[in-house]
Amino acid sequence: MTSLLEVAGLRKAFGGVTVANGIDFALPAGAMHCLIGPNGAGKSSFFRLLLGEHAPDAGSIRFGGKDIVALRSFERIRLGISVKFQVPGIFKDLSVRQNLEVAFQYHLHGHSLADTVKAMLEFANLDGEATTLAGALSHGQQQWLEIAMAVGVEPRLLLLDEPTAGMSPDETRKTGEMLHDLNARGITILAVEHDMAFVEQIAQRVTVLHFGSIFAEGSIAEIIDHPGVQEIYLGASDE
């Protein structure tokens, strides 16, 4: 499979603390991949390097064959990278519909704003909540709204930082079904996640980060059976 995202020799340190230690990583187009690791592994820093929020000290990041290291975050988004962070970044005093309109108004790729909003309301199971203030939604619904906000701009790559944090088991399962639907539409997905049951539900492959380096990579079965993965998780708290 052709790699959509290619990272080579990626390094980053803050005040002597290394958060990316020569990472080599390739993500095929159409993949649904999970990134796991204990507290301090460098998962969030890796995302911020991909998004351009941090500049690497060394290494390259290529997206769709294009070197994007020198590009700013908004330029990377225009190329087709979208993100949903762990804490919902919605406008709580606006309605669900208004949140979607704000997210899509400059990223429609020629489509109708009304049609895109309608499609994303249905996708996120929020078509009955269009006029509800976003702050009045349940936690799970707020997470789904932000996923819809990230998806409606038609990304080629969707980055998800703990998309099921704080969700009930049923909401978590439904989120997994939503991601399978997106992946079937051709969206490549890279998710940071701690819930191993959710990882098992969605991941085609899993990468384990530890102290800014790739510790292991393989199928979910290979990662679960890896003799060192359980060891590095013992006593680890969530990031």
User: pLDDT by residue (tens digit) across 25-49?
Assistant: 999 999 999 999 988 899 989 999 9
Q: What is the pLDDT of residue 128?
A: 96
Q: What is the pLDDT of residue 112?
A: 84
Residues 6 or more apart whose Cβ sits within 8 Å of residue 10:
20, 22, 23, 24, 25, 46, 49, 56, 58, 59, 60, 61
93 in any annotated domain: yes
Strands 157-161 and 81-84: parallel
Question: Average pLDDT, whole number, for the chain?
Answer: 91
Residue with the two structure tokens 């393989």: 218
Residue type, 49: L
Residue of 232, 231, 228, 220 lying closest to 195 (CA atoms): 220
21 in any annotated domain: no
Q: Is 217 a residue whose pLDDT tops 60?
A: yes
- Mean pLDDT check: name the lowest of 2-6, 50-54, 228-232: 228-232
Q: What is the pLDDT of residue 95?
A: 98
Domains held by the chain: number: 1
Share of the chain above pLDDT 70, in %: 94
CA 176 to chain centroid? 13
Q: What is the pLDDT of residue 235?
A: 41
Q: Are 82 and 153 in contact (CB under 8 A)?
A: yes
Tokens of 166: 């704080």
Q: Is 129 a residue whose pLDDT tops 70?
A: yes
Q: Are 207 and 34 in contact (CB under 8 A)?
A: yes
179 in any annotated domain: yes
pTM, 2 dp? 0.91
Tokens of 196: 């191993």
What tens digit of pLDDT does each residue of 159-196 get?
A: 999 999 899 999 999 999 999 999 999 999 999 998 99
Report, in angstroms and rounded to the nearest whole number, the Rg of the chain calculated over CA atoms.
Answer: 18
Q: What is the pLDDT of residue 174?
A: 95
**How many other β-carbons are positioned within 10 Å of the β-carbon of residue 86?**
17
Q: What is the pLDDT of residue 237?
A: 42
Q: Is 39 helix (H, G, I), strand (E, B) or coil?
A: coil
**CA dist., res. 4 & res. 26, Å (int):** 8
- Average pLDDT of 119-135? 96
**CA dist., res. 239 & res. 35, Å (int):** 12
60 in any annotated domain: no
116 in any annotated domain: yes
Q: What is the pLDDT of residue 233?
A: 72
65 in any annotated domain: no
203 in any annotated domain: yes
Instruction: Supply the range of the domain harboring residue 93.
Output: 31-54+71-233
**CATH (domain of 151):** 3.40.50.300
Strands 66-67 and 205-210: unpaired
- Report phi then psi at 15, rounded to 5: 55, 35
225 in any annotated domain: yes
Q: Is 108 a residue whose pLDDT tops 90?
A: no
Q: What is the pLDDT of residue 16?
A: 86
Q: Is 236 a residue whose pLDDT tops 60?
A: no
Distance from the first to the final alpha carbon of the chain = 32
pLDDT bin (cut points 50, 70, 90) of residue 105 is confident
